[in-house]
A and B are shown apart, each in its own frame.
Chain A
Amino acid sequence: MELFANQILAGIATGAIYACMALAVVMIYQAIDHLNFAQGEMAMFSTFVSWQLMQWGVPYWGAFVLTVAFSFAAGIAIERLLFKPLAKAPVLTNVAGFIALYAIINSVAGLIWDFTIKQYPTPFGSSPFLGSQLISTHQAGMIGITLLMLLLLFFFFRFTRVGLAMRAAASLPESARLVGINTSWMIALGWGMAAAIGSVAGMMIAPVVFLEPNMMLGVLIYGFAAAVLGGLSSPFGAVMGGFLVGIFENLVGTYIPGVGNELKLPIALALIIIVLVVKPAGLFGRAIVKRV
């Protein structure tokens, strides 16, 4: 029983990271109808930036805040420079753009910081949380930071004018322009926020997976699985999908013999395929019905 509870809690902790990545992917998907394959690399690069800041002597939380701000600005810059010009281009052109971005960020990070694995600090320590063996303080911190961020995002989208404008621009761009919303900047803002959310996920998961240019590859695939499971049209679904995938992954790895760590990733991929076949809109998504 203790093992079970332990696995559930650990699943929620990593699930929180998947939820962040899924949310970042869904935010961009809602804005421009494309999956950002480079979301994980953007998060990885941000994490390296925070590591570099700490190497230069900036304290953890200072580096954390600076990195989130940097990521926000970088997300906007990527949209302005690369994806705004591609806005009316065919799907495949955009896919090529994402893959190029993936490769470029990965290589540049390797060039600057090389490919050796680095330790990454946790501000929460790794002792047992509240004296319980079930969960470590870092895992608890991961869950706490993620929930705080999700709560802030919820309030932002629900109760602020910019949040309302962003939702409007994502759901019906033409109508949004007709009430005077600059939809192009709303998309850029969405990119900035997605990059910032990703950077938080990267900094939270780095102490677990260690810092290196390929650290987010697996995480992003879980993030995709979470987004597909929850439904690409639903930010709430993406977050729930993240937690579900995290728990599912841990339970399968623990209780199904022969799965272990090696087969966890294929299970995430299998999950994507099964959901796409059985319920393409995801658990919380709405099927897109177009009136003709």
Chain B
Amino acid sequence: MTAMLNVKDLRAYYGQVQALHGLNFSLNEGSLTTLLGANGAGKTTTLRAICNMVRSTGAIEFDGKPIGTRSTENVVRLGIAHVPQGRGTFTTMTVEENLQLGAITRTDKKNIVADIERMYDHFPKLKERYSQQAGTLSGGEQQMLAVARALMLRPRLMLLDEPSFGLAPLIVRDLFRILGKINREEKVTILVVEQNAQLALELADQAHVIETGRIVMSGNAKDIANNEDVRKSYLGY
């Protein structure tokens, strides 16, 4: 397996405040990796730095090419979909328009219609509500829509920022099951940031634990889940 995304010595800043202090990690093609850590550890910042939404230094390589200087939209155009915290739903637009927006950079117009149908297969609730304003969907449905919108890009890498946030446990299970399916069947590499460590470790094959802007632990998700010290000190369960 080759590394699809390579992050070296990543440092990020909000004004004068440094939020990341030299992160190093890489994602293998086809992997499902989770980034764990407490509030304020720098998980969201890491995702935002990959998409150049926050000032950062260090090297970020995608397919061996540096992407650190690209604008957010040009990073996305490489096939990196980012489901932001709070989902970023276009609330005043319909469900279907949200899906079309996910594919707005694609030129293969013929396949877009088929892809929208495919999303409705993954998420039947969205089909029922396709003409409804996205803001009227429940939190769970909006998260489904956000994932579906990201998939409409036909991404090679998908970044998800706390997809479980504010959702009922059953819905989180459902969502994670779909993420696993997408990773296996559509070969989308996934990096998911989570506070729900237990569930994320069940889903992922790789995990990194981050604390105050540094990676303190990396490895196989199962090993980390089984390591009692790590669980107690960093994951709190």
Contact between A172 and B82, CB atoms less than 8 A apart: no
Cα A171 to Cα B97 with chains together (Å): 13
Contact between A175 and B104, CB atoms less than 8 A apart: no
Enumerate chain B residues within 8 angstroms of A180, measured Cβ to Cβ. Answer: 73, 76-77, 104-105, 153
Of A164, A177, A180, A183, most B-chain CB atoms within 10 Å: A180
Q: Mark A166-180, 1 if CB is under 8 A from B, else 0.
A: 011001101111111
**Does A77 reach chain B (CB closer than 8 Å)?**
no
- Nearest B residue to A161 via CB reads B104
- Chain A interface residue count, CB cutoff 8 Å, equals 17
Enumerate chain A residues within 8 angstroms of B89, measured Cβ to Cβ. Answer: 175
**Does B22 reach chain A (CB closer than 8 Å)?**
no
**Does B72 reach chain A (CB closer than 8 Å)?**
yes
- Chain B interface residue count, CB cutoff 8 Å, equals 24
**Which among B71, B91, B92, B153 is the interface contact of A179 at CB below 8 angstroms?**
B153
* Interface SS, B side: loop
Enumerate chain A residues within 8 angstroms of B105, measured Cβ to Cβ. Answer: 179-181
**Does A165 reach chain B (CB closer than 8 Å)?**
yes
Contact between A164 and B88, CB atoms less than 8 A apart: no
**Does A182 reach chain B (CB closer than 8 Å)?**
yes
Enumerate chain B residues within 8 angstroms of A174, measured Cβ to Cβ. Answer: 53, 84, 88
Contact between B93 and A175, CB atoms less than 8 A apart: no
Q: Mark B149-182, 1 if CB is under 8 A from A, else 0.
A: 1000100000000000000000000000000000
Enumerate chain A residues within 8 angstroms of B4, measured Cβ to Cβ. Answer: none
**Does B101 reach chain A (CB closer than 8 Å)?**
yes
Cα A252 to Cα B90 with chains together (Å): 41
Contact between A183 and B90, CB atoms less than 8 A apart: no
Cα A168 to Cα B105 with chains together (Å): 13
Contact between A171 and B90, CB atoms less than 8 A apart: yes
**Does B51 reach chain A (CB closer than 8 Å)?**
yes
Enumerate chain A residues within 8 angstroms of B100, measured Cβ to Cβ. Answer: 161, 164
Cα A175 to Cα B145 with chains together (Å): 13
CB-CB nearest 10 A-B residue pairs: A175-B88, A180-B105, A180-B76, A177-B72, A180-B77, A177-B73, A180-B73, A178-B82, A179-B101, A182-B73
